Amino acid sequence: MSSFIDDVMDFDSTSLEVFQEKTSNSARNANVYKTNPSLSKSEDGHYRSRIRVIYNPYAPKKSIVHQATYAMTDENGFFMVKSMLGDGDKNCPIFKSWKKLWFSGDETKKEWAKKIYDKSESDWCLVQILDDQNQPEMVGQVKVMRLPKAIFTKMSAKMNPSAESGKAPVPVMDYLIGLPLEMDVTPGPDDPKQPWRKQREISYDLCEFDTDYAPITKLDGSALFTDEEMEQIDAFDAAKKKVVKAKTEKAKADAQKEVEALKETIKALYVKALNYLKDEAHVVDLQDECGYQPWSDEVTKRVENWINKVLNMQDPKTEVVNEAAPVEVPLNDAATASADPVDDLPF
């Protein structure tokens, strides 16, 4: 525990694995937080809320998890699986079967591959909802959220700034001194060709991070830290900022001494936050929830049967490949949308 807390206290946000990679769930999952404008109660249709993106309490480096999924249909119906491509592993059997067709040199097979394979990729994080008038029951809850590209870009700029920018990394996801994110999700027009998919062209461009920190709260939205502890966090935040803004080496050294003097006190608060997230809030491990997990034997068999038919240029929806009863895909093997197109909405 002590070693873990030390890591979190001094966690370098640039070391998130998602920033180190050079390459690049929920079938109605109650763990997922959606900010779809279709749920908005405002007159202008914007979905507004205030949230905190937080570190994965079980593995800080896995605080943003990349996910790759394949959507497939066989004679038993629609199913989705997470692919090891999400971890950058190209040994995924579905991906390898696609390559066989795509690079076969046969235009007919290439067109077949283009039609039959449906791969999607996304990034996921943990968020605590600080304020939400659209879904007030969510306030205080810690949920999994799909990370829109616009927000990911803004997070990256703060947490993993380029050397040319001259900016210091900001611990946006820190439990104590992380920055709130003001969500302002703009609705877009309906797609007349797919009327069940409302407001697909929504925008996250207006979402912005606040400039002042906000510690995590309890699940009911009340304060986790006492007034005295908040003063300690405020002093810690101020000292950390002094280090970054110091104009001279002496000023920097003095500010660093302030940080060191508060370190043991602040360490206890990180322990408090971590224990609350794990033991009281029962926050899920983001990697387990959204990352690739080895398929069960049943799912592996179903995928293999699908691949065999596809490679033989047969439609797996109509070709009988398995006389057994339809396989129920567990949540950890399923992807993040259901077969119902109405549920496949942006968030």
Cα 142 from Cα 217, distance rounded (Å):
10
pLDDT at 326: 39
Cα 84 from Cα 92, distance rounded (Å):
6
- Whether residue 231 lies inside any domain: the answer is no
Cα 94 from Cα 87, distance rounded (Å):
15
CATH number of the domain encompassing residue 162: 3.90.198.10
- The length of the chain is 347
- Whether residue 7 lies inside any domain: the answer is no
| Tokens (6 digits) for 286 | 């983001």
Beta bridge partners of 72: 79
Contact (Cβ atoms closer than 8 angstroms) between residue 54 and residue 142: yes
- Whether residue 6 lies inside any domain: the answer is no
Q: Is the pTM of this model over 0.95?
A: no
pLDDT at 242: 94
Residue-number span of the structural domain to which 316 is assigned: 25-223+283-336
pLDDT at 27: 38
- Whether residue 305 lies inside any domain: the answer is yes
- Whether residue 201 lies inside any domain: the answer is yes
Contact (Cβ atoms closer than 8 angstroms) between residue 55 and residue 11: yes
pLDDT per 10-residue tile (average), the chain, 347 residues = 73 73 47 92 94 97 97 95 96 97 97 97 97 96 96 96 91 97 87 49 92 96 97 96 93 95 96 97 95 96 97 86 40 35 29
- Whether residue 258 lies inside any domain: the answer is no
- Whether residue 17 lies inside any domain: the answer is no
- Whether residue 296 lies inside any domain: the answer is yes
pLDDT at 83: 98
pLDDT at 132: 97
pLDDT at 9: 77
pLDDT at 319: 60
Q: Where are the alpha helices (DSSP H) in the chain?
A: 2-9, 17-20, 93-102, 107-116, 149-159, 227-245, 249-275, 286-290, 297-311
Q: How many domains does the chain have?
A: 1
By C-alpha distance, which of 130, 159, 122, 16 is closest to 347?
Answer: 122
